[in-house]
Amino acid sequence: MTPQKRENRIIFICWLAYAAAYVGRLNYSASIVAIVADMGVTKAQAGLVASMFFFAYGTGQLVNGILSKRYNSRIMVFFSLFVSSLLNLAMPLSGSISAMKYIWLANGAVQSILWSTLIKTISENVSDGKISKAIVVMSTPVAAGTLPAYALSSLFVKYSTWKTTFYVSAAVLLAVSIVWFVLYGSEKTPAKEAAVSSASRSKKGLSKAFLLCIITIAFAGIANGFTKDGINTWVSSVLYEEFGISQSFSIMLTLLLPLVSLAGASLVAAIHKKVRIMSDMDSAFFALAALACFGVLISLRHRSIVPLMICFVLVACLMSMANNVITSVFPLESRNKLGSGFLAGFLNTFCYVGSTLTSYSLGKVSQQSGWNAVFIIMLAVCGAAAVASLIGSITERKENNNDNSN
């Protein structure tokens, strides 16, 4: 196999693995409105299950980001997908929300292996000439995996049961784990242009400007996870409770979120060609998301479902774009300064700190104070992230100027 074909194959199977992982993690959020109704639990109890996943995933991101450079990618990604398949199978068989918490906690732990390992795999096997293609491709698996997760949930809630969603997700994860193991093979393509030895990195060291840039992007990651997963988890519940839309149709409407997010993810690479400062992009995305959250509040007040859905779609799209900048574009663009696998895992940890906070806390807030309070909180979080990212762009410009002068 030629090096070019090998690189294309690596990019494809990394994309496929992460898209499948999203099918096996967002199926719970997609089905949450049906689970609440079927099992007779509160939104806070149901939200805690999702928070358990996010907690384990976020914690695991930090650990696996550090350890990923030592991992055998072929074995570890297969292991993650295979065990996640078994845990998805266990969810509908558990019989109680209490047991589901711990199953989903374990699912978060095994899936946390993936992102840093996949980014490391791309960094090691894809040359500089194709890294821009890899950035574009790896900006889409989140949206590509979200779409079937919600589509399957909508279909099975209407014609079968939410439990079937988990059975099908388990089959998808199992199939992709086998595809990964077979297609990865044992051959390695040395991407000499892409590789910068750890020795040369340590000699250069990390500038204060670069470290401050990482801190501001990490803060943006917390806000991103809080807002992105808050929308993904609770939109179907808002539609069901505020507008009386059926469970299956409310989930189906939620499909608009990943559809538009997929388009937004593809735009990031084009925007990055014109806007080289990552924090500038994040600041714009969060500012626009804050405006969209304000639009949600106005739409809820006037009971207008069409403007409401437009605002939901905008928030989801903008947060998908910000997530791509934080966890994909920035780590791969910075691979000559710091290991991409570590940086991707580190920043994704902060995204999942936000995700951990959102599912339980917003479910609780909605019960006690209603959905208006939820979106006031989201608006404030997005506004704070916009300001922090704007401040972060100063340090990023300084770092870029230092690089250019060298």
Q: How many CB atoms lie within 10 A of CB 302?
A: 9
Rounded Cα distance between 32 and 244, Å, is: 16
CA atoms within 13 A on the CB side of 181: 13
pLDDT band, residue 157 (cuts 50/70/90): confident
Q: List the alpha helices (DSSP H) in 185-243.
A: 198-204, 208-243
One-letter identity of residue 90: A
Give the per-residue pLDDT at 201.
45
Write down the pLDDT at residue 202: 43
295 SS3 class: helix
User: Average pLDDT in the 277-303 region?
Assistant: 94
Could you tell me the residue range of the domain that residue 123 belongs to? 3-405
Q: Please say if the pLDDT value at position 282 is more than 90.
A: yes
Answer with the residue of higher pLDDT: 205 or 149: 149
Domain tally for the chain?
A: 1
Residue 234 belongs to a domain with what CATH number? 1.20.1250.20
Mean pLDDT of 313-327: 89
In this predicted structure, the answer to whether residue 198 has a pLDDT above a threshold of 50 is: no
Find all residues with CB under 8 Å of 332, minimum gap 6, and list them: 119, 122, 123, 131, 134, 135, 138, 340
pTM: predicted TM-score of the whole model, two decimal places: 0.74
d(CA 210, CA 337): 9
- Which DSSP letter does residue 90 get? H
Per-residue b/e over 135-158, b at no fewer than 16 CB within 10 Å? bbbbbbbbbbbbbbbbbbbbbbbe
Radius of gyration for the alpha carbons in the chain, expressed in angstroms and rounded: 20
pLDDT band with cut points at 50, 70 and 90 for residue 378: very high
Q: Report the share of the chain in percent with pLDDT over 90.
A: 40
CB atoms within 10 A of CB 4: 12
Query: Is pLDDT at 62 greater than 70 in this prediction?
Result: yes
